[in-house]
Amino acid sequence: MLKTEKVLLKIENTIATVTMNRPEKLNALDIELWMGLEEAATAIKHEPNVRVVILTGAGRAFCAGLDINALASPEEMFTSLAFRDAFEGVQYFRSVFSMYESLAVPVIAAINGPCIGGGMEIALACDIRLASNNTIFSIPEVTYGIISDCGGTQRLPRVVGPGRARELIFTGRKIDATEAHRIGLVDHIYQPDQLMSEARKLAEEIAALSPAAVQAAKRALNVAMSCSLEIGLNYESAISSKFYK
């Protein structure tokens, strides 16, 4: 049981489902929801039976981004959370999303509706992205005179390529699920009433395989996203050799 009801964690057999639960606010991120995501990731990290995670949103949205109305000014917010400065505060919020990327097990984003700003950034930290066909994506921070600071400028180019990432980030433009699939932002599109069942089906397929092999593959894939080819190849060789002893 988590301390907040703004994030729900359900573990069934080997599959954990994390649900952002502010449906009346389209699951917009406030501090309590952010901390709930942190708590859920920590709980999963210490639950060895979990083999796959599904991350989704309650109601008709995945996550509409930062809830500006629910937060104090940046200075007041960082001070209230005992951060020394804005850099340290931004690092904390980004680190919560990174926890899902660094979980030992695969994380599937089931994106059910608007996926905006911080919502898109946490989806980018997931391993596989499935979307309902009514989803809208945007990373609009520049339209507010700021930049995305929870991984958007770093992860989006790795997912869709630098050119498309620049266009989306520089314009803040909204795209639909079909365009997101075309550019590789999402891997599959489903009808809204099929999304969670398809996410569960994929999770069960992965969970049925060797957890040691799947988790080793995730570590190697994460290295591939952040290191040179030569380093990645050497890491792959090193980690795969352990399976032949």
Residue 141's CB is within 10 A of a number of other CB atoms, namely 21
- Catalytic annotation on 204? no
Is residue 26 within a helix (H) or strand (E), and if so which, with residue range?
A: none
Contact 147, 141 (CB under 8 A): yes
**Could you tell me which of 123, 129, 131, 126 has the C-alpha nearest to residue 105?**
126
Q: Which residue in 141, 167, 205, 230 is the catalytic one?
A: 141
- Residue pointed to by tokens 């992205």: 129
Element containing residue 70 per DSSP (H, E)? none
CA distance 82 to 74: 12
236 noted as active-site residue: no
Q: Which two tokens stand for residue 242?
A: 């352990």
Token pair recorded at residue 15: 């599959």
Nearest CA among 65, 34, 69, 40 for reference residue 53: 40
Tell me the pairing of strands 128-132 and 107-111: parallel
Asked if 77 contacts 89 with a C-beta cutoff of 8 angstroms, the reply is yes
Q: Which of 101, 121, 167, 205 is catalytic?
A: 121
State residue 73 phi and psi, 5-degree precision.
Answer: -60, 155
> Exposed, middle or buried by CB within 10 Å (0-12, 13-18, 19+), for 89?
buried
> Catalytic positions, please?
121, 141
